[in-house]
Structure 1
Amino acid sequence: MMKIRTAVIGAAGYTGGELLRLLLHHPQVEIQYIHSNSQNGKNLEDVHPDLIGDSDLTFTDQVTTRGLDAVFLCLPHGETKPFLDAHLFSENTVIIDLSTDFRNESNGFVYGLPEVNRQKIQKATKIANPGCFATGIQLALAPAIAAGLAKTHPLHITGITGSTGAGKKLSETTHFSHRNSNVSVYKLFTHQHLKEIRQTFGQLNPGYSNELLFVPYRGNFSRGIWITAYFPYQGSLEEAYAAYQSFYLDAPFTHISRRDIDMKQAVNTNKCLIHLKQEAGQLIIYSSIDNLLKGASGQAVQNLNLAFGLEETTGLALKSIAF
């Protein structure tokens, strides 16, 4: 198979840097160019020092639409649609967007959560990559929604994310002096990822409309997401495990553990780890992902593999930083 000619637009941020780390070592990918308006002319290692010695690529602010099999868009939310209006790619170029702009599956985009939409992704040329919290929450709860385990009660969800989830640009709440030795809540019950979560739950269980009471936390660490979700449940723990194992039977990156899990097992991998408990009449689900990998760039490469008929795990054999 010929190499997939690709480009990364908006490649200077965290998700762009992680994408380049993966794509440079992907056996079926050839990067044609890396784009950034702010870093034009700089060498790759000047912007992403961790990639020193891996490539002699230089950032450009010019956009070439021809000769590409795939393009990744790592632009700020709200900027993808205007970018695509201004730059016409071939209808055969696979576009993978990491912003929120098309997660409602508008403009011909398919929602890129492989564990739910694998077959649609395999046929798609426009893929909207899910959000990081959305990925962790959906993978934690999708089997329960699909099997009707969560019935008429609200879903209670908490999630804590690392500072890289807020992007590379410095702000008051990402500054070291704010984040260090600190935890804070933001966007209580109103997080923007709830829209795409509701969309998926409605797809898995038509008419499902239970409240999603989500409390997002800012964590005092760099990367990773931890989700805790629970709801009233009358079945057995074994029945719940059976539903989860069946749902993820063909999912190479989502693993159901009967042992307690921790976030470090998932960080630096494209895995989602899930553990179930039953206490006080509730089914409790823990899930953990790396917000920059399974929650962003790793999942984007997973979608690339599916769209081009490659083994889903190609280029994503990453070890966690568990010690």
Structure 2
Amino acid sequence: MIDIQQVSVTFAGAGSEVHAVKDVSLQIRKGEIFGIVGASGAGKSTLLRTINLLQRPTQGQIRIDGVDITGFAGEELRRIRLQMGMIFQQFNLIQTKTIYDNIAFAMRVAGAPKAEIQKRVSELLELVGLRGKADAYPAQLSGGQKQRVGIARALANHPKVLLCDEPTSALDLETTNAILELLKEINRRLGITIVLITHEMAVVKKICDRVAVMSGGVVVEMESVLEIFANPRHPFTRQLVHHSYDFGLPERLLQQAPGPIWKIVYCGDHAEHPVISDTAQNFQVDINILHGKIEYIGDQPLGVLLVTVRGAAADISRAIAHIRTKAHRVEVAYGKP
């Protein structure tokens, strides 16, 4: 549905140029939730804004449903933007207007009749869980409620695409989860394509189908979310995934370990099998689990364990070889094999 072809964005700086986005190509499928993740300054927000031409590419093309919109202006651009709602990090609500008027604003600009606006605003307030708040003002709402208004406003003109620029970074953890669940429900019920920018891997894990990892203006890796977490290939992606698990071990455990500390990654059905106990029983080794967890990404289990293995060298080798046949990946996390 969204085809980004060799897009670059360059800004003129003081005596030099800043290459915010460098030759990025992405294909975003209709109806999916697509994440773009990276650290601050990676170029992800700039890339997002090229989709609706709030930021025009220096080079490259943006295609929507097969149509090259890169050169659109005037009425053509206005029509294409009506198909794309946008949600902002800091809500961007009009403080002097009621919640009703904030949501209705985009419809009035589009020339919608009053009766249609009243009906649509009522539907959207119900959808985002703000029934009864039409006459309130933004200052009377919590951060999560303000973002719900922002979502309702973005949906007002029945867009095909929802562009989300760090929609949860200003919210606490509980509110973040509630907003992400709302976006998932909107995607499921309306079939709307969502493109979401974030610097948090936890957000990607919870909501996205696929993800592009950006660093230094470049997409360094793009895969399904499950594959990114199970088998990150680029060093920057591996760093993001490692930090998201928070598998740091106390120095005391590292010093006392009888040998290398192994990292075992399970994916799919293997995550639910008793591989560790089976290995310990059949290969005359003792396996000590130091850290680990199993979670579900898109209804698929993903397990990660940090373990030490005691026993004769030959038995340890056979045990690790057996685990490798059952696990998605086995590698040394600390120490030497």
Asked whether the two chains share a fold, i.e. TM above 0.5, the reply is no
Larger radius of gyration: 2
Select the structure that is richer in strand.
Answer: 2
TM-score, normalised via structure 1 length? 0.29
